[in-house]
Amino acid sequence: MTLLTRQNLKSNPAPIMKINHLVDEVAAAISINSINYAVVMLTPDDLEDFVVGFLFSQSVIKNNHDIHDIKVENTNLGLLINVDIANRCSSQLKQQKRQYPAAAGCGICGLEALEQAFPKLNQLAPSEALEFTDLVALRRQIQTFQVKAKQSGAIHAAFNLDEQTNITACREDIGRHNALDKLIGHNLRSNQQIKSVLVTSRCSSELIQKAILAKINNLVSLASPSQLAVNMAIEHGLNLIHIPKVDAPIYYCRTTLSQ
């Protein structure tokens, strides 16, 4: 979406028209086997990736093959997304009582019980922490891959990283949780087991949960993590790495808390 605004310049007393690109945000009502499940505010791109990653992160499905069909319908109020999942997944879902409010990327709002906010997570296999030798090159890659951020700036992103810290995939969304869900969904749909992911947003405990569920060994964040996020990462063997704007990367893992 673009918006025309007036801007005054000191060198030119006459007002000029400037085009501002605004990020899209819509309500997406997700139904599973025609039963209402959640309403999420998101950027309407890579929707199938989001649906797969979101339902995987909520433990509704275990892999991409548990989804038989995804149908998206545009309405004046937003998107209607109906997902057809396997019967065994549907039976497990009926045992979960959960309701989401319509908040942008608000992942644990509306949980009926605190226990559901902190599900039991499996331990990750031991893995060496990712090393960064050229942060300037990495930041240049981030700018190159973030197409929507160049236009509006008001958007989060999640990236796949290879062993040489090169970016191999990117997903963007107005919601930071949504961006990671989209990337996880992309990896599941392409049958990739990615070991390292970078997020541009602050690192909360729920991003840690999503990473552990997806068996990601290294989660890199451009913003400081919360104490709960650090504790959860160390407990489950996830290498959490914070890259500040100026200083060297800070490592939070079992071997050392900072480097």
What pLDDT is stored for residue 159 in this prediction? 98
pLDDT at 154: 78
Q: Token pair for residue 20? A: 């501002």
Mark whether 142 and 221 lie in a shared domain: yes
Is there a single domain that holds both residue 98 and residue 173? no
What's residue 257's pLDDT?
39
pLDDT for the residue numbered 101: 46
| Residue at which a domain ends, from 84, 117, 150 | 117
Q: Exactly one of 89, 106, 170, 253 is catalytic; which is it?
A: 106
Long-range contacts of 250-254 (CB under 8 A, 24+ apart): 251/129, 252/225, 253/129
CATH number at residue 98: 3.10.20.10
Both 102 and 147 in one domain: the answer is no
Domain count, the chain: 2
Residue 203 among the catalytic residues = no
163 and 243 in a single domain? The answer is yes
Domain extent for 213: 135-252
The pair of three-digit structure tokens given for residue 172, joined into one six-digit string: 């963007």
Residue 59 lies inside a defined structural domain of this protein: yes
Can you give the CATH number for the domain in which 177 is found?
3.40.140.10
User: Residues 6 or more apart from 52 whose CB is under 8 A from it?
Assistant: 61, 64, 67, 184, 185, 188, 189
Token output for 124: 């990750």
Within-domain flag for 123: no
103-106 long-range contacts, Cβ below 8 Å, gap at least 24? Answer: 103/41, 104/25, 104/41, 104/42, 104/174, 104/175, 104/178, 105/40, 105/41, 105/42, 105/156, 105/173, 105/174, 105/175, 105/176, 105/177, 105/178, 106/175, 106/177
Tens digit of each residue's pLDDT, the chain (259 residues): 545 444 554 555 555 555 568 889 999 999 999 999 999 999 999 999 999 999 999 999 999 999 999 999 999 999 999 999 999 999 888 876 554 444 555 555 554 556 677 788 999 999 999 999 899 999 999 999 988 877 777 799 999 999 999 999 999 999 999 999 999 999 999 999 999 999 998 899 999 999 999 999 999 999 999 999 999 999 999 999 999 998 899 999 975 433 4
Tokens 């995804």 sit on residue: 70
15 three-class SS = strand
